[in-house]
Amino acid sequence: MRLSELHTGQTGRIIKILGHGAFRKRMIEMGFVRGQEIKVVLAAPLRDPVKYEIMGYEVSLRRSEADLVEVEQIASEQPETSHARHERTINVALIGNPNCGKTSLFNIASGAHEHVGNYSGVTVDAKMGHLTHKGYSINLVDLPGTYSLASYSPEELYVRRYLKNETPDVIVNVVDASNIERNLYLTTELIDMDRSMVIALNMYDELESEGIKLDFKTLGQMIGVPIVPTTAKTGRGVGELLDTVVRVYEEQDPAVRHVHVHLGHDVEAALTDIKDCLKAHPAVSRHFSPRFMAIKLLEGDAEVMEEIRRLPDGAGILELRDKKIKEFEKIHPGDDLTAVIADEKYGFITGALAETVDRSNERDRDNTTRLIDTIVTNKLFGFPIFLTVMAFTFWATFTLGSYPMEWIETLVGWLGGLCRDYLPDGWLKDLVADGIIGGVGGVIVFLPNILILYLCISFMEDSGYMARAAFIMDKIMHRLGLHGKSFIPLVMGFGCTVPSIMATRSIESRSSRIITILINPFISCSARIPIYVLLVGTFFPAHSTLVFITLY
């Protein structure tokens, strides 16, 4: 529990100080160290700040500060032993790009059964899990996938706020080994934050099957973060990962070293001045390192700018920032500072990988994939193939689906007839024959349509055709202000609007997501089939498939 949760008169024992940098240092200097007893003396009239007694002296802390002190409550008769147990709790957060295998790792480590998906945005909030490893009790949190720690997308904001408010003891940065260069960008941001961290080099099986060799030990030493290869699908390397987490927590891992990702002479100069200025405000670096805050400030990160603006001297710091950016632009005309920072980070990554990756035995893989790509996204064949696939889908849904529909109709009719024959006249007969059998029958008769449509859609998704369809549809979707990805939920809308609106969460941009949701009800869902059936059956019995497609 947190110190702020103790009530007046209660006593707690300190487990650890969360927080960061100057705040943490000051607290430790004041005697807030593991094992110390602390008593709540009294709270100010507005409940903030609160006066505490520690080591025989009294100290007042704001609630926000007391929130960063983890304690266990000491009941008067509580035995000593529970102390040792609590001390060995490690809070671990899984952070990584979408689809790098965080949830798989979470499930295999904690024995949970969270949904694993092959598209982004499956995990939209944090999932908690728990496990014990070699006497340590580990709380594991699966966070949404994120490409960076900017405050641009909801996922990024979520992860950053989590890191800020919950200050996990150890971060497990899950890195997709088959996509290592892009994945390490997030790692450089975590390095800037200067937190205890372990890298899980996941999908290691794919790296091996591609014949690529990565000297992860050297890479880990270079970036100052221990790296453990894992294959979350099978659980390989997870034990070693947890061992490393414990070692890092106990500050016993030799690979841990604080590294600066050098951002070039001029950026570094600007950073140093801003950092010095920030250091005068301990509140700023309570959660994040001054370097991280200074970089985000230079990048113009909205949330950090707002936080700085609210400081007593905020305007001054922002002025300094603007001055530094102007100076930089004078030296590098036409260069955007944010882009330069990203370039330098990628330069750092490329450099580190150049020394540790051996591609000499790389297999020239997936020629078939490339061949399929050139055909299904071809200028000439792309759309005809797409239309054929769609036409097949609807033909299967409606023409093939009409057979089981007939069977169901016959069955329902037969059951209804049975009731009519054998039940005595009266309200019960009407209820069962027309109400229940007729009513339910009228609904389940559409089941074959829906099942076949969903089968086709899942086949397209799992075979990877959906991604290609999104690719070729992108331009048309773009006219509506949408991304090609919106196409997937829109197609699902043919089945049912509810799951299709749920599927929009794979779309990153908020505006695209909302537009897709709003136009989705205009897509003809399967519940509208009876009306089409009526129209087609009445007016165009000879060309039903064709008219059906045209109606859609």
Chain residues in the site for ligand GDP (CB under 6 A) = 96, 98-104, 116-118, 122-123, 145, 202-203, 205-206, 231-233
Asked if 11 contacts 39 with a C-beta cutoff of 8 angstroms, the reply is yes
Residue 206 interacts, among ligand GDP, Mg ion, none and using kind-specific CB cut-offs from 5 to 8 Å, with ligand GDP
Q: Which residue in the shown chain puts its C-beta closest to ligand GDP? A: 101
- Residue closer to ligand GDP (CB basis): 191 or 232: 232
**Region of residue 135 (phi > 0: left; psi between -120 and 50: alpha; otherwise: beta):** left
Q: Which is nearer to Mg ion, 103 or 285 (CB)?
A: 103
* 183 contact choice in ligand GDP, Mg ion, none (CB below 5 to 8 Å, kind-dependent): none
CB-nearer residue toward ligand GDP: 291 or 485 = 485
Residue 226: which of Mg ion, ligand GDP, none does it interact with, CB under 5 to 8 A by kind?
Answer: none
Please tell me the distance from the alpha carbon of residue 72 to that of residue 1, in angstroms, as a whole number.
Answer: 6
Phi, psi of 346 (to 5 degrees): -65, -35
Which of Mg ion, ligand GDP, none binds 495 (CB below 5-8 Å, type-dependent)? none
Report how far residue 190's alpha carbon sits from residue 196's, in angstroms, rounded to the nearest whole number: 9
103 lines the binding site for Mg ion (CB under 5 A) = yes
Smallest separation (angstroms) from ligand GDP to the CB of 103: 3
- How far apart CA 488 and CA 457 sit, in angstroms, is 9
Phi, psi of 8 (to 5 degrees): -55, 135
| Identity of the residue, 151 or 202, whose beta carbon is nearer to ligand GDP in the bound complex | 202
Closest separation between CB of residue 172 and ligand GDP, Å? 12
- With contacts defined by CB under 5 A, name the span among 32-40, 96-104, 218-226, 429-437 that binds Mg ion: 96-104
Q: Is 306 exposed, middle or buried (0-12, 13-18, 19+ CB in 10 A)?
A: exposed
Contact window for Mg ion (CB under 5 A) among 85-93, 120-128, 272-280, 380-388: 120-128
State the nearest-atom distance from the C-beta of 95 to ligand GDP, in Å.
Answer: 10
Spatial contact of 40 and 8, defined as CB atoms under 8 Å apart: yes
Judged by beta carbon distances under 5 to 8 A according to partner kind, the member of ligand GDP, Mg ion, none in contact with residue 100 is ligand GDP
Q: From 67-75, 99-107, 154-162, 283-291, give the range in contact with Mg ion by CB under 5 A.
A: 99-107
β-pairing verdict for 357-358 and 213-214: antiparallel
Q: Which does 232 bind (CB under 5 to 8 A by kind): Mg ion, ligand GDP, none?
A: ligand GDP
Residue 203 contact among ligand GDP, Mg ion, none, beta carbon within 5 to 8 Å by kind = ligand GDP
Going by C-alpha positions, the residue among 304, 274, 285, 275 that lies closest to residue 23 is: 285
Nearer residue to ligand GDP within complex by CB, 209 or 388: 209
Do the strands 197-202 and 227-229 form a parallel or antiparallel pair, or are they unpaired?
parallel
Please tell me the number of Cα atoms within 13 Å of 405 on its side-chain side.
20
Residue among 235 and 264 whose Cβ is closer to ligand GDP: 235
Cβ at position 249, least distance to ligand GDP in Å: 23
In the complex with Mg ion, the residue whose CB is nearer, 103 or 188, is 103
Select 117 or 530, whichever has its Cβ closest to ligand GDP. Answer: 117
Does residue 123 touch Mg ion according to CB under 5 A?
yes
Phi, psi angles (nearest 5°) of residue 279: -65, -20
Q: Assign residue 21 a region: left if phi > 0, alpha if psi is -120 to 50, beta otherwise?
A: left
Rounded to a whole number of angstroms, the minimum distance from the CB of residue 106 to ligand GDP is 7
255 binds, among Mg ion, ligand GDP, none (CB under 5 to 8 A by kind): none
CA Rg value for the chain: 30
Using CB under 5 A as the binding criterion, the count of chain residues that bind Mg ion stands at 3
Q: In degrees rounded to 5, what are phi and psi of residue 199?
A: -100, 125
What is the number of alpha carbons within 13 Å of residue 285 lying toward its C-beta?
A: 26
**What CA–CA distance (Å, rounded) separates 492 from 502?**
10
> Residue 122 or residue 490: which is nearer to Mg ion going by CB?
122
Q: How far is the CB of 311 from Mg ion (least distance, A)?
A: 36
Interface with Mg ion includes 516 (CB under 5 A)? no
Q: In whole angstroms, give the CA distance from residue 462 to residue 234.
A: 20
Q: Distances from the Cα of 28 to the Cαs of 24, 67, 370, in angstroms?
A: 6, 15, 58
Determine the Cα–Cα distance for residues 390 and 373; give it in Å rounded to an integer. Answer: 18
Instruction: Specify the residue, 193 or 201, whose C-beta has the smaller distance to ligand GDP.
Output: 201
Pick 108 or 122: Cβ nearer Mg ion: 122
Secondary structure in 3-state letters for 186-220? HHHHHHHHCCCEEEEEECHHHHHHCCCEECHHHHH
The one of ligand GDP, Mg ion, none whose footprint includes residue 202, by CB under 5 to 8 A per kind, is ligand GDP
Could you tell me the smallest distance in angstroms from the CB atom of residue 197 to Mg ion? Answer: 19
Binding site for Mg ion (CB under 5 A): 103, 122-123
